[in-house]
């Protein structure tokens, strides 16, 4: 019989993992809700976040807390430039969304192979943001996991406020709802798209920096989170931030508990079974049709 401390620790682990899935999925949701496109390079942006932290700590000897904001800024600029140079020229063309999928797939493959050539295929260790553990009632929790969960809550709340209560959020929602009307109101949809791509990439990179100390970093580390993020987005409902957040926590906790009770080999099967079950009841997802 599973003891309460072990069960509690696994639930916390599920919340930690789910919060990161929610961050990555929120980035995908942002791009879909605004640009109506799928970014298949999103996992590699997650990977670059982890490698960026490793590079800053190992080569420039920065403290992790100093390296993270620098990494996020670099990823934001890089993603905005990629949107400007590769995605933006296709806008308005027939089947541009299909072209965007091909381009982002190409970007993902390029970044993955670049990371392999530059850093090699070995797993690289990254120091914890906050080392050590804390204990209460026979429950032991790592401070880094508490940091991850706290960070995710702060970022997701701030992101929600950005979307709902700022001029940029208003411009973004206006562009998503009616691009022609937004343009007539003086909103530059191309700038909105650049910022959208940059913010989305930063959310993925932030998740990469947070989980890098736990899972280590390697050129292929983004594939799993990308698949899980797509599951979360579909489960929660395309274009729904609330769905991305709730779906992330559902998948994270489901994975953690399935590992505890069934074994690690069952976690992916449970996730897909959960997705299928939800779609059978609600084909559009938990919050389908409720964008933003």
> In tens digits, what is the pLDDT along the chain, a chain of 292 residues?
568 888 888 999 999 999 999 999 999 999 998 988 899 999 999 999 999 999 999 999 999 999 999 999 999 999 999 999 999 888 877 788 788 899 999 999 999 999 999 888 889 999 998 888 888 878 888 999 999 999 999 999 999 898 888 999 899 889 888 888 888 888 888 899 999 999 999 999 999 999 999 998 999 999 999 999 999 999 999 888 999 999 999 999 999 999 988 888 888 999 999 999 999 999 888 887 555 5
Return the pLDDT at 89: 87
∠ CA 273-277-283, nearest 5°, is 125
Residue 84 to residue 91: CA distance in whole angstroms: 11
Contact present, 71 and 56 (Cβ < 8 Å) = yes
Q: What is the pLDDT of residue 46?
A: 97
Alpha carbons 149 and 256: distance in angstroms, whole number: 15
Sort 184 into a burial class: Cβ within 10 Å, 0-12 / 13-18 / 19+: exposed
Q: What confidence score (pLDDT) does residue 292 get?
A: 58
- Region of 187 on the Ramachandran plot (φ > 0 left; ψ -120 to 50 alpha; else beta): beta
Q: What is the pLDDT of residue 122?
A: 87
Cβ proximity of 271 and 221 under 8 Å: no
Contact predicate 119/51, CB 8 Å: yes
User: What pTM, to 2 d.p., does this model score?
Assistant: 0.93
- Whole-number pLDDT of residue 263: 87
DSSP 286: T
């Amino acid at each position: 019989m599973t003891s309460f401390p072990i069960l509690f620790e696994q639930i916390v682990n599920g919340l930690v993992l789910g919060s990161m899935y929610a961050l990555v999925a929120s980035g995908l949701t942002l791009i879909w809700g605004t640009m109506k496109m799928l970014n298949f390079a999103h996992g590699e942006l997650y990977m670059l976040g982890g490698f960026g932290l490793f590079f800053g700590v190992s080569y420039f000897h920065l403290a992790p807390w100093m390296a993270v904001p620098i990494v996020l800024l670099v990823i934001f600029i890089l993603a905005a430039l990629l949107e400007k140079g590769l995605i933006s020229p296709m806008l308005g063309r027939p089947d541009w969304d299909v072209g965007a999928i091909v381009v982002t797939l190409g970007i993902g493959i390029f970044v993955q192979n670049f990371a392999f050539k530059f850093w090699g295929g070995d797993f690289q260790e990254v120091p914890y943001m906050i080392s050590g553990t804390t204990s209460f009632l026979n429950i032991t929790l790592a401070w880094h996991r508490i940091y991850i969960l706290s960070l995710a809550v702060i970022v997701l709340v701030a992101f929600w406020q950005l979307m709902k209560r700022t001029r940029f959020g208003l411009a973004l929602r206006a562009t998503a709802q009616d691009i022609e009307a937004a343009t007539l109101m003086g909103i530059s949809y191309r700038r909105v798209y650049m910022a959208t791509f940059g913010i989305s990439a930063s959310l993925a990179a932030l998740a990469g920096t947070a989980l890098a100390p736990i899972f280590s970093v390697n050129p292929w580390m983004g594939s799993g989170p990308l698949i899980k993020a797509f599951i979360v987005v579909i489960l929660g409902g395309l274009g729904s931030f609330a769905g991305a957040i709730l779906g992330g926590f559902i998948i994270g906790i489901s994975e953690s508990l399935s590992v505890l009770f069934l074994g690690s080999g069952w976690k992916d099967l449970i996730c897909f079974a959960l997705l299928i079950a939800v779609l059978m009841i609600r084909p559009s997802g938990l919050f389908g049709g409720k964008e933003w």
